[in-house]
Every structure is written in structure tokens, then in C-alpha cells.
Chains A and B, each alone.
Chain A
Amino acid sequence: MLEVKNISKSFNDNVVIKNFSLTIKDHEIVALVGKSGTGKTTFMRLINNLEKANKGSIAINDIVLCNTINDKIVYAKHKDTKKYHLQLGMVFQDYALFPNYDVLNNLLIAPLAQKIDTKENLTKKAKKILKDVELSNKINARIDTLSGGQQQRVAIARALMLNPAIICFDEPTSALDEETTNNISELIKKIAQDGTGVLIITHDKQFAKNTATRIINSNKFISKEN
């Protein structure tokens, strides 16, 4: 479960998010929709610890990334943020796969670095996940030989390797055709069915309608009631 409470973020004098709260439970798919420039990406970057909030608290399954005590925000120590990151999967808009590794090693590099399991077990797991995302035949393929849709599925598989409690998608349909969009929608539903909470940032309202269990408009970022 992701719990974001009273989060605020400004860039200099520009208030992007003010007192925004959001909870995502297991199995839930929340879509944040809204025009570009309304702070959707900033919100996702806050959750991913790629940007620091000015106020508020963020935690997944009680593992705290940041908390506000006496009006002052305190971030977890480096070692503890690692635990937090383990709870969270991220699928970047342009996938951010590692082009110098093949598909399998893109999946293995993070869990191996975090010493989650033996290489043998992790390879077994990777093969299973690749089967789930229908990429079994691409296990040793180079990233640059894959289509956009395939690369996205590798990015999803890479995030799933860490068994995240919450998985974030940044504009997952921006580079996909209609059929691939439907496929990704089904895949996201399946991920949520398996128990993961999902956060989707999108400007595609139809996709949000078809996929999400709850839709939030990003114009609520600067109002007080959420």
C-alpha cells in the first residue's frame, strides 16, 4: 500500500503540488490524468525519490521515504531508501532499458546487485516473468532489436523482478498503437490482480477509463481536498 500524505512541491516560486494526498491499496489501479504541465510527472518523480518534496510524507507498506515532523521534512537515510526502492517498480516513459545488456541481463542486474537471490533462481524467475509478458523468444535479444511495445514489456518485466508492492507507469501509451495499447492495458490489470498496486500517469483518458479502478485528475494537485 502506497500512502502519500499532504505532499507539497514547488520549483522556486512555482507551486506544482500543494497538500496532495493519495493512497493506493493492493490490487488497485489508479490513473492520474490531466494536461501536461500540471505536475503529474513531478508527482511520480517524488514517489520515486528522483525529486525531493518540500513537505508531506511518503511511505509504502510502512517503509517511510520521507516524513514531516514539526513542519520540517525528513528523508530516510540512504540505506533505508534502498529498502523503500525495493517496494517500488518504475516503468519509464522511454523505458530506460540498458542497451549494453540483453533482455535477460536487463532483468537480472538489479536483483543481483541487491543480492535478492542466487543467479540461478533469479534466472528461473526472469524466464517465468518473460513468459508472462510474452517475450520468451526474446530472452537473449539485444534491446535495440526490439520494437517499442516489446521494449516496454521488458521494462515491465524488469520492474516485476523486484516484487514491488507498487508499480508506476509514466505515460505508458505515448508511443504505442491501438492494439499494443489494449495489450498493455490487459497486462497492467493482470499485474494488479496478482496483488500489486498500480499508479499510471497518462494523458490518454480512454486508456485510463479502460484500465484503472480509480481516476484522479491532476488539477487536484493544488486544491486542498482529495
Chain B
Amino acid sequence: MNLFIDILPSLLNGLKTTLLLFIVVLIISIPLGFIVALIRIHAHKIITTIIQFYIFIMRGTPLLLQIMFIFFGLPYLGITLNRIPAALIAFILNYTAYYAEIFRGGILAIPKNQSEAIKVLGIGQIRGFLKIIMPQVFKIVLPSVGNEVINLVKDTSLIYIIGITEILRAGQTAVNTYATPIPFIFVGIFYLIITAFITLILNKIEKKI
């Protein structure tokens, strides 16, 4: 118990960084993924090909490599970023690609006659998209989006590689300092609490739509 109280401040400090990264990436990459999916479906072939290539790179290489490239690699090309912005950019680029593919699948799963009915009934393309197509897309993609959200929580631990102290690194420091594996268990419990909380919210959303 004493150990827990001793290391709690540093764990909470790490947790703050983990949550910051998680929330910012989530808020930006989900809408961005949706927009990229729409562009990929509707845009000119050249733009579609560029987006396909971007998604191929993001999904085909490890996120860890992408983080390292942006923080350690880009300075050689004259672009130097601080640790947190570098991590944010890498995560947003990576997760946007995944979300874009999920949303694309969702949009393509909507029967064509839905948009035809919208047209024939004179509902208007924008209103029809927002009120009829989008809710159906969200219902289809929610389980896959949920998976990625939970993956994101765990992936945040990768930023230790560029020297940011998030919760896992805080735990590791405590393990080394106190020569006991217990802090790792505390860290695991923190991850489980966050994941349980997200699962709860996702279930609520799923019931609502």
C-alpha cells in the first residue's frame, strides 16, 4: 500500500500524458478519417490513388517506425518537432488511415437505393446524407471504431521511444527504483480501468443508435 502511495504521483503524471494523447488523437482522427473516406469514395482518380498510397504506408509500416521517423528522422530533413507534437502527428496520421478505411467500408455498405430514395423524395443531398446515410454508417462502423479506440489506448505506450513519460514509462521507472514488479501491475490496472470505461461508453452509444 505504501508503495502504491509512493509511486501514485508519478503514475498519475504519466496517466495525464497518456490521456492527453488519447483524447487529442481521438477527437481529430475520427472526423478526419470520415472526411478522408468521403474524399476517397467521391474524388478524382488521382486524389483517390494518393489517398490509397497514404493508407498503404500507414497500415503497412509499424506505428513505432512512424513515430521514430517523425521525431528522429525528420530533423535530418530540416524539420524538428518537439516530442509531444511529433507523437501527436504520428498518431493522427496513422489512426486517420485506419478510421478512413473503416468509414469507407461503412459508407459502401449502405444500399444504393437509400441515396436514390433521398433524391426521388427531394430530401436534398446534404440533409439526406446527415440525417439518413450517416446514422446508418455509424451503426455499421461502431464495433470496428470501438476496437480501434481501445487499440489507441494501448498504442499510446509506444511514445516511450521518443522519451515521453507516459504511464508505462512511469511504471518502469518505479520498477527500477523499488526493485519490484508490482508497479507494472498497477499500470495494467490503470489500462484496464480506462478500457472498461471506454467499453461502457461504447455500449451506451450502441444502444442509443
- A residues within 8 Å of B by Cβ? 48-50, 82, 85-86, 88, 90, 92, 94, 96-101, 109-110, 113-114, 158, 162
User: Given the complex of chains A and B, what is the CA–CA distance between A97 and B132 in angstroms?
Assistant: 10
Contact B113 A96 (CB under 8 A): yes
Contact A110 B123 (CB under 8 A): yes
Contacts of B122 in A (CB 8 A): 82, 85-86, 110, 113-114, 162
Interface of B is mostly: helix
Contacts of B131 in A (CB 8 A): 109
Contact B114 A96 (CB under 8 A): yes
The 7 nearest A-B residue pairs measured at CB: A110-B121, A96-B113, A96-B117, A85-B122, A100-B135, A113-B123, A90-B120
- CB proximity of A5 to chain B, nearest CB, Å: 22
User: Given the complex of chains A and B, what is the CA–CA distance between A50 and B127 in angstroms?
Assistant: 18
Contact B123 A109 (CB under 8 A): yes
Residues from 114 to 156 in B contacting A, C-beta threshold 8 Å: 114, 116-117, 119-124, 127-128, 131-132, 135-136, 139
- CB proximity of A81 to chain B, nearest CB, Å: 9
Which bucket holds chain B's interface residue count? 10 to 19
Q: Apart from A88-B120, A100-B135, A109-B131, what are 4 other A-B pairs with CB-CB below 8 Å?
A: A94-B113, A98-B132, A100-B136, A162-B121
Q: Mark B83-123, 1 if CB is under 8 A from A, else 0.
A: 00000000000000000000000000001011011011111
- CB proximity of A52 to chain B, nearest CB, Å: 13
Contact B136 A96 (CB under 8 A): no
Contacts of B132 in A (CB 8 A): 98, 100-101, 109
Contacts of A110 in B (CB 8 A): 121-123
User: With A99-B136, A100-B139 known to touch, is A50 a contact of B121 (CB < 8 Å)?
Assistant: no
- CB proximity of B130 to chain A, nearest CB, Å: 11
User: Given the complex of chains A and B, what is the CA–CA distance between A86 and B123 in angstroms?
Assistant: 10
User: Given the complex of chains A and B, what is the CA–CA distance between A48 and B209 in angstroms?
Assistant: 31
Select the residue from B113, B117, B120, B135 with max chain A CB neighbours within 10 A: B120
Partner of B120, one of A85, A99, A101, A114: A85
Contact B127 A113 (CB under 8 A): yes
Contacts of B124 in A (CB 8 A): 113
- Closest-by-CB residue of A relative to B127 is A113
Contacts of A109 in B (CB 8 A): 121, 123, 131-132
Contacts of B209 in A (CB 8 A): 100
Partner of B116, one of A50, A86, A158: A50
User: Given the complex of chains A and B, what is the CA–CA distance between A94 and B114 in angstroms?
Assistant: 10
Contact A92 B116 (CB under 8 A): yes
Contact A85 B121 (CB under 8 A): yes
Contacts of A90 in B (CB 8 A): 117, 120-121
User: Given the complex of chains A and B, what is the CA–CA distance between A90 and B131 in angstroms?
Assistant: 20
Contact B116 A96 (CB under 8 A): yes
- Closest-by-CB residue of B relative to A83 is B122
Contact A92 B136 (CB under 8 A): no
Contacts of B123 in A (CB 8 A): 109-110, 113-114
- Closest-by-CB residue of A relative to B132 is A98
Contacts of A50 in B (CB 8 A): 116, 119-120
